A = this chain, B = another copy of it.
Amino acid sequence: MEAGPPGSSRPTELGPCLSGQRGADQAASASLQSAARAQLGRHPLAVAAVLPAGGCGERMGVPTPKQFCPILERPLISYTLQALERVFWIKDIVVVVTGENMEVMKSIIQKYQHKRISLVEAGVTRHRSIFNGLKALAEDQLNCKLSKPEIVIIHDAVRPFVEEDILLKVVTAAKEHGCSDYDLEFGTECLQLALKYCCTKAKLVEGSPDLWKVTYKRDLYAAESIVKERISQEVCVITDTKEDNKHVSHLLEEVLKSELNHVKVTSEALCHAGRDLQQIILDQCYNFVCVNVMTSDLQETQKLLSILEESHLSILYPVVVVSVHFLDFKLVPPSQKMENLMQIREFAKEVKKRNIWLCGLLISYPQDEQKLQESLRQGAIIIASLIKERNSGLVGQLLIA
């Protein structure tokens, strides 16, 4: 990551971040950062970001340039844009892409509704590309949309997990250390160049292990697993207000809590005009379990699906919905109830288009308390696996616990 004022079009190299902080260090640093952030608020600096994204990803061993490789069906660069967009004090984000990828990039910005983005064409080297991005900011050539920034963060398009605190460190360091000349034409490693030409003004900012660069195919795998883990941190159990149903829902919640270690399990009723559910959606919960007791009716699930569709929650991440049906398999063999539940396949096909991944789950509801605990545990294992693995091939399936 590099930063520098664009007037000179020559950023100071701030280096890839090397290692994380822990314990007391982290606390001290967090308090420093919050002070710095407050200061940034009082004397607002005009900050912009330039993302060079013209690479061809040859080390990856895949034909798609790595910034466009899909992570849970969404291109990697969209995650990086999302990370920068979240930071309110970054006013403009300039993405530098090759001419041939310009249209792909436009469609990504439109599909995932990215804001504050401008596109600039890449140069023949990475440094020329950065230069083009800086020039666009300095010259305000993009139809006056861009405001001239005092500091520009230059961030790899293939480091998707950048956090605000690191960006703040970079900006603070850039403010203190200024910037300097560097070799646009022949440069390879920015830090080396910065040290060679301007060693007094370059500063290495320490980063976190999460800031690593997606380079090899294994990094794509790792990135996908990290994203899956992040969006599996909360599950909302939806239930109606009947006492019986609340009891079973509560039992399922308890088992889910122990099965999904460290995962927040909340519960909500649909009938409260969905007010609290709206808050849960706003808080970005991407996993919903709709509990139905002794019925294979899908009305409640359909209501939930409508609310989710309207919310646009699923623009960035696939939302998993599990329609759970507690049935007494002794009274009614599951196969007899399945006819009705088969409708779930059609619903699933429909909502999949909007990135909502629906599955059905029958859980045995025996009278015996011990057997009930066992079937709840089986159900929780399946729900945990649907949420954590987020396997699109299983959309529309009806599973049995």
Contacts and interface: CB of A to CB of B under 8 A. Distances in A.
Contacts of A381: 393
A64 interface: no
Interface stretch (A149-157, A213-221, A283-291): A213-221
A373 interface: no
A31 interface: no
Contact of A335 (B223, B338, B393): B338
A399 interface: yes
A316 B128 CA distance: 50
A385 interface: yes
A179 interface: no
A222 interface: yes
B345 A400 contact: yes
B385 A391 contact: yes
A336 B336 CA distance: 8
Interface in A378-401: 381-382, 384-386, 389, 391-394, 397-400
B394 A394 contact: yes
Nearest to A19: B59
A72 B61 CA distance: 24
A393 B386 contact: yes
Interface string A217-244: 0110111111000000000000000000
A112 interface: no
A89 interface: no
Interface in A76-121: none
A212 interface: yes
A226 B221 contact: yes
A333 interface: yes
Q: Which of A336, A381, A391 gathers most chain B CB within 10 Å?
A: A391
Nearest to A210: B218
A209 interface: yes
Contacts of A18: none
A249 B328 CA distance: 37
Nearest to A386: B393
A329 to B, nearest CB: 10
A176 interface: no
Contacts of A386: 393
Contacts of A339: 333, 335
B382 A393 contact: yes
B397 A400 contact: yes
A342 interface: yes
Interface in A335-362: 335-336, 338-339, 342, 345
A225 B221 contact: yes
Nearest to A259: B393
Contacts of A218: 209, 212, 222-223, 225-226
A389 B209 CA distance: 26
A381 B385 CA distance: 18
Interface string A305-316: 000000000000
Given A391-B391, A397-B397, 6 more contacts: A218-B223, A221-B222, A334-B338, A335-B342, A386-B393, A389-B389
Closest 4 CB pairs of A and B: A385-B393, A221-B225, A218-B222, A222-B222
26 contacts: A209-B216, A209-B218, A212-B218, A218-B222, A218-B223, A218-B226, A221-B222, A221-B224, A221-B225, A222-B222, A222-B225, A333-B339, A334-B338, A335-B335, A335-B338, A335-B339, A335-B342, A345-B400, A381-B393, A382-B393, A382-B394, A382-B397, A385-B394, A391-B391, A397-B397, A397-B400
